Structure 1
Amino acid sequence: MTDLSTLPYRPCAGVMLLNAQGKVFVGQRIDSTLEAWQMPQGGIDDGEEAEQAAIRELGEETGITPDKVDLIATIDRELFYDLPEDMIGKVWKGKWRGQRQRWFLYRFHGADSDVDIATKHQEFRAWRWTDPAELPTVIVPFKKALYEEVLAGFADYLD
């Protein structure tokens, strides 16, 4: 059996996307039966900068184009989360124990009609805008502490 503590963390970028009302975009993963929501996020490809990955993932998961967002802030350090033990080996081909993430806060200045989750590699089955304070209660439990760190990192920019 593999010692789980020796597995690395997957490099990832995450996006907290705020609309004009200060609400945050969240989507429900298509590959999960849980009633959990999450912000757009995904892996950083080899040779890719974290912010490039954030914008790419935002487009891949929401259909939102870069001209519809403006960067507000970043968290200046990586944030980590571990997968629950029963998920290690079942996701990401068993190569990772969790993720190390760089987070970016963007303002969305488009319209809801600019959101199209039916992308080429669709990841969300539904989406909505939510109050930032609600994030830790709607995420899968193993990401709750991570989302609390994201909220703390962007607290100065949230209503």
Structure 2
Amino acid sequence: MPKSAELPYRPCVGIMLVNMDGKVFVGQRLDNKVEAWQMPQGGIDEGEDPRLAAIRELGEETGIGPDHVEIIATTREEHFYDLPADLVGKVWGGKFRGQRQIWYLARFTGTDGDINIQTSHPEFGAWKWAAPETLPDLIVPFKKKLYRDVLQEFHDLI
């Protein structure tokens, strides 16, 4: 098995979905043993445009269609995080050391009734709107810096 440092980062997107009250969508992952909430995120398929991947992932995880989303901004650069040592080799078929993510800030133009986390492959067991400043406290420890960085970059646009 290769060492973590020798593995590549998985190409991904993340979506900071903000409602009209300035709150951010977070979901509680079904596969996490600790209580942790996260913003929608997911892999970019081979040859897929990252912006389209963000819209696709948002729909797959929240049931929100593209007609209820307005992309406001994207991060200037990719953001990276490394998996903890005990997870390397266990997730994503052991092929990646962590993720490199392009983040999108999007305005939610629908209503709470347009959200349905009971998708064909559910990832969240619950969801809520959270104050942006609380995001780093809600996420698993190894993603805290990433969330602080994304929040800082989008702060003035929320």
Q: When the two structures are superposed, what TM-score results if normalisation uses the length of structure 2?
A: 0.98
Q: How far does residue 86 in structure 1 lie from its aligned partner after superposition?
A: 0.3
Q: Counterpart of 1:111?
A: 111
Shift of 1:140: 0.2
CA displacement at 1:125 relative to structure 2: 0.4
For 1:142 and 1:127, locate their aligned partners in 2 and report how far apart those are by CA, in whole Å.
Answer: 21
Aligned twin of 1:144: 144
CA distance in 2, matches of 1:49, 1:77: 16
Note the C-alpha offset of 1:45.
0.1
For the residue of structure 2 that corresponds to 1:126, the secondary structure is strand
CA distances 1:74-113 after superposition (whole Å, capped 9, x unpaired): 1121000000000001100100000000000000010001
Moved over 2 A (4+): none
Match for residue 16 of structure 1?
Answer: 16
Question: Unaligned stretches of 5+ in structure 2?
Answer: none
**1:54 and 2:54 equivalent?**
yes
CA distance in 2, matches of 1:37, 1:65: 21
Residue in 1 aligned with 2:44? Answer: 44
Aligned mates of 2:43, 2:71 — CA distance in 1: 19
**Distance in structure 2 (CA, Å) of the matches to 1:125 and 1:156:** 30
How big is the shift at 1:2?
A: 1.9
